[in-house]
Amino acid sequence: MIVEAGAFALILALALSIAQVVLSAAGRIRRSAPLAGAGEGAALAAFAAVAMAFAALMHAFVVSDFSVANVAANSHTAKPLLYRVAGTWGSHEGSMLLWCLALTGFGAAAVGLGGSLPRGLRALTVATQGVLGTVFLAYTVLASNPLVRVLTPPVEGRSLNPLLQDPALAIHPPFLYAGYVGMSVVFSLAVAALIEGRIDAAWSRWVRPWALAAWSLLTVGITLGAFWAYYELGWGGWWFWDPVENASFMPWLVATALLHSAVVTEKRGALAGWTVFLALSAFTFSMLGAFLVRSGVLTSVHAFAVDPKRGVLLLIILGVTSGLAFTLFAWRAPSLGQGGLFAPISRESALVLNNILLAAATATVLLGTLYPLIREAMSGESISVGPPYFNLTFTPLMAALAVLLPAGPLLAWKRGDARGVAQRLWAAVLVAVALALLVVAITSPHKAFAAAGVGLGGWLVVGALVELLERTRAFRAPAAETWHRLTGLPRGAWGMTFAHLGLGVFIMGAVFETSWKVEAAETLPRGGGLDIGAYHVTLDDVRPVAGPNYDADRGTISVTRAGKPVCQVAPERRLYTVGGETTSEVGLCYRGASHIYIVLGERRDSGAQPAWLVRAYWNPWASLIFLGPVIMALGGLISLSDRRLRLGVGRRREPAA
């Protein structure tokens, strides 16, 4: 009964989304407040309906109702509750429902928080959001309905891929989807503004909070995914330049560019066309990601919920919605003004450079992801584009961006003072160089390039702090004044400092871990050991243990340094009894920011003596890789709480109509 109610609610949501489009559009055309209000009501109701359908599906998963085809295919009674709940979005159908939930949720949020928008713009935004809701709900209802029953329910379900049964991965999709779909509001605002023909500072200010929220959520989502890969896949890799990872990274890069160009549009009225272009691109890349991940056109190590036939439908949705939006852009863009003047050395120029480099980085990821397809379609030859390509193209672009970054916030708008900036940054230069030299001194083998990379990370961190000191006139004004300035800093400024600092932390961690990780593997009997860097790893014991839906061998492994105990870990090798898959739970031993990462491998008896393959990695500074993006996302959230961004601020710009 609950399932039927859910299925009905889903169809109702589709009808409400259609009503949302028609009513809102009519409200704009006739300039009728009641009609537009009805459209907003439909948007809120559509969200409520999708939430009901989602709750119904989640309930079916929790109670293991195998008469629902989707539950039977993706769940199992022996699965722990958390993973039964997470199973709701663990399949193609369920994840599309989560997508629709986020889409209508952001639509409802736009209605709830968009009170300050001019009426026309608001009605058109709600209408556009309704169009997106309609196409994705139609797809879910007609081609990918998760609430379909089977005639003869199986006694037991087929369970969820055990690799996905992990706390980080259970919450990874909701963050990722909220981030992906958060860009839809930005998209709708852009379409609405293009139709209204007015793109100005006020519009940028309305776009920013949505872009910031989506960007922060996407940052968290990607980081969770990377952290999951790091400790679950068992070889300590956290980024593989895999198509599925790239699919989530492209919207992030575009959103990052958008956040920066929107500042120029807001403060100086310039780059309006480019900002709108990015606003449309961000959600386009989100939809491209949804298509790439689900269609199976690309082989990926994370192949997920692949279905080529439905992939074509997603491609059509992508082509039509984005195609229309960009056509509208091409038609309206020439009428957008150029905005304020600026000199070659200015904040504007720096932000434009930032955007050029981020656009090039996006192009790199896009080309690297799609080129094998293009090449195959054109000449029939198949090629591979792997990590070495990205190291040669993406990395130098990002390095250039990082070199320029600390100067940007110190430059004045319109006309900056290059010498003044250099004077303020010399301390940061010294610290960065000293850090690089220190890294060369303490590491072996010596790697000049990698040391420079770590120094570059330090440059960003110190650069962000220098900017903070400049703003507060620290050491130049009395302490009381500095304190006063510090507490009076707008949240947006804090957000920027955190985001830039987080990027520096990430770069230091990523470069250090990649360049100086150490690996060792041996077949060990009980009591046997191996050396990894300065540490000695001993396999004390291995015992069988039984989990809720798996059997495992659990090792007891102790780590010592110069004879002194450091830590004990218990890595497992699990066999999931339902599907017969093997997974490994790594043992992680934290030493400051560095990790000793231990994997219990297969059993390899030598003669009568039992022995196991044990792999150990020394991953120096690995925590920084995940800490950096968390700091960045935190920066986004701090900035989001800035009172200048509260949606009421734009009101005074509303024309008296």
- Compare residues 344 and 655 and give the one whose CB is closer to another protein: 344
Among 29, 142, 148, 235, binds another protein (CB under 8 A): 235
Cβ at position 583, least distance to another protein in Å = 6
DSSP 559: E
User: Hey, what are 172's tokens?
Assistant: 């990874």
d(CA 345, CA 407): 10
Backbone angles phi, psi at 69, to 5 degrees: -55, -45
Among 87, 94, 105, 234, binds another protein (CB under 8 A): 234
Cβ at position 237, least distance to another protein in Å = 7
- Compare residues 61 and 252 and give the one whose CB is closer to another protein: 252
Cβ at position 367, least distance to another protein in Å = 5
Note whether 218 and 180 are within 8 A (CB).
yes
Cβ at position 616, least distance to another protein in Å = 10
Torsion angle defined by CA atoms of residues 599, 585, 74 and 285, in that order, rounded to the nearest 10 degrees: -70
- Compare residues 580 and 655 and give the one whose CB is closer to another protein: 580
Bond preceding residue 372 cis, omega within 30 of 0: no
Cβ at position 573, least distance to another protein in Å = 7
Q: Is residue 299 at the binding interface for another protein, with CB under 8 A as the rule?
A: yes
Cβ at position 350, least distance to another protein in Å = 11
Q: Is residue 379 at the binding interface for another protein, with CB under 8 A as the rule?
A: yes
- Compare residues 482 and 523 and give the one whose CB is closer to another protein: 523
Cβ at position 255, least distance to another protein in Å = 18
The span of 76-84, 149-157, 176-184, 240-248 binding another protein (CB under 8 A) equals: 240-248
Distances (CA, A) of 357 to 8, 79, 401, 409: 48, 46, 6, 17
β-strand 611-619 against 518-525: which pairing, if any?
antiparallel
Q: Is residue 381 at the binding interface for another protein, with CB under 8 A as the rule?
A: yes
Which residue, among 109, 124, 118, 135, has the nearest Cα to 23 in the 3D structure?
A: 124
Site for another protein in 533-592 (CB under 8 A): 544, 551, 553, 573, 575, 580-584
- Compare residues 223 and 349 and give the one whose CB is closer to another protein: 349
- Compare residues 37 and 387 and give the one whose CB is closer to another protein: 387
Site for another protein in 322-361 (CB under 8 A): 338, 341-344, 349, 352-353, 355-357, 359-361
Among 118, 179, 368, 509, binds another protein (CB under 8 A): 368
Among 1, 155, 382, 564, binds another protein (CB under 8 A): 382
Cβ at position 298, least distance to another protein in Å = 8
- Compare residues 379 and 487 and give the one whose CB is closer to another protein: 379
Site for another protein in 383-402 (CB under 8 A): 383-389, 392-394, 397
- Compare residues 196 and 581 and give the one whose CB is closer to another protein: 581
Cβ at position 356, least distance to another protein in Å = 3
Which residue, among 131, 63, 47, has the nearest Cα to 97 in the 3D structure?
A: 47
Helix (H) or strand (E) holding 127: helix 119-143
Opening angle at CA 320, ends 318 and 322, nearest 5: 60
Cβ at position 349, least distance to another protein in Å = 7
Q: Is residue 615 at the binding interface for another protein, with CB under 8 A as the rule?
A: yes
- Compare residues 301 and 324 and give the one whose CB is closer to another protein: 301
d(CA 91, CA 70): 8
Note whether 146 and 91 are within 8 A (CB).
yes
Determine the size of the site formed for another protein (CB under 8 A).
Answer: 71
What region, left, alpha or beta, does residue 270 occupy, with left being phi > 0 and alpha being psi -120 to 50 degrees? beta
Helix (H) or strand (E) holding 86: helix 81-86
Q: Is residue 519 at the binding interface for another protein, with CB under 8 A as the rule?
A: yes
Helical residues (DSSP H) of 380-447, grouped into ranges: 387-404, 418-442
Which residue, among 310, 307, 3, 5, has the nearest Cα to 149 in the 3D structure?
A: 3
Q: Is residue 32 at the binding interface for another protein, with CB under 8 A as the rule?
A: no
- Compare residues 374 and 403 and give the one whose CB is closer to another protein: 374
The span of 115-123, 503-511, 602-610, 618-626 binding another protein (CB under 8 A) equals: 602-610
- Compare residues 106 and 390 and give the one whose CB is closer to another protein: 390
Site for another protein in 61-120 (CB under 8 A): none
Site for another protein in 247-266 (CB under 8 A): none
The span of 55-63, 174-182, 382-390, 628-636 binding another protein (CB under 8 A) equals: 382-390
Secondary structure class of 356 (helix, strand, coil): helix
Note whether 522 and 530 are within 8 A (CB).
yes
Cβ at position 45, least distance to another protein in Å = 42
Q: Is residue 297 at the binding interface for another protein, with CB under 8 A as the rule?
A: no
User: Hey, what are 382's tokens?
Assistant: 């198949």
Q: Residues of 439-468 as b/e, b for ≥16 C-beta within 10 angstroms?
A: bbeebeeebeebbbbbbbbbbbbbbbbbbb
Site for another protein in 150-209 (CB under 8 A): 163
Residues with Cβ < 8 Å from 113, sequence gap 6 or more? 647
d(CA 8, CA 10): 5
- Compare residues 2 and 520 and give the one whose CB is closer to another protein: 520
DSSP 564: E
Among 51, 85, 171, 371, binds another protein (CB under 8 A): 371
- Compare residues 232 and 467 and give the one whose CB is closer to another protein: 232
Q: Say how many CA atoms lie within 13 Å of 264 toward its Cβ.
A: 28
Rounded to whole angstroms, the maximal C-alpha distance in the chain is 89
- Compare residues 180 and 390 and give the one whose CB is closer to another protein: 390
Cβ at position 484, least distance to another protein in Å = 34
Opening angle at CA 253, ends 421 and 348, nearest 5: 35
Site for another protein in 300-319 (CB under 8 A): 300-301, 303
Opening angle at CA 59, ends 53 and 62, nearest 5: 145
Secondary structure class of 576 (helix, strand, coil): strand
Q: With helix as H, strand as E and coil as C, how does 372-399 read?
A: HHHHHHHHCCCCCCCHHHHHHHHHHHHH
Cβ at position 19, least distance to another protein in Å = 42
Cβ at position 270, least distance to another protein in Å = 9
Site for another protein in 521-540 (CB under 8 A): 521-523
Cβ at position 213, least distance to another protein in Å = 27
Cβ at position 586, least distance to another protein in Å = 10
